[in-house]
């Protein structure tokens, strides 16, 4: 992944949460499953997991590029939940498409 592409991938995750009221384990499980099955998140779980890793290390804001009902701290906590949910689903299935 090129140096700054992770932020665009993280923005996809943030956009996917616009209508999600609670950033909890249930929402993280639902999103992780969509990533593994490549529903709504077609790049595949590896791309999202790598971007989440970069985002978790990033010291700057993650919610600054698009309007969102979620605050910075809540979104960062959600990324932790999402990373755990993705890890729990390893090994990820390979797809032919």
Domain-by-domain residue ranges, the chain? 5-88
Please tell me the distance from the alpha carbon of residue 40 to that of residue 59, in angstroms, as a whole number.
28
CB atoms within 10 A of CB 47: 17
DSSP single-letter state for residue 33? H
pLDDT per residue, tens digit, the chain (97 aa), is 555 699 999 999 999 999 999 999 999 999 999 999 999 899 999 999 999 999 999 999 999 999 999 999 999 999 999 999 999 999 998 765 4
């Amino acid at each position: 992944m090129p140096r700054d592409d992770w932020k665009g991938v993280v923005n996809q995750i943030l956009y996917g949460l616009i209508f999600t009221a609670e950033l909890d384990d249930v929402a993280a499980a639902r999103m992780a499953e969509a990533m593994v099955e490549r529903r709504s998140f077609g790049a595949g779980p590896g791309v999202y997991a790598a971007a989440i890793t970069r985002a978790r290390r990033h010291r700057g804001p993650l919610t600054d590029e698009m309007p969102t009902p979620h605050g910075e701290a809540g979104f960062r906590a959600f990324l932790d939940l999402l990373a755990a949910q993705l890890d729990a689903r390893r090994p990820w299935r390979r797809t032919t498409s």
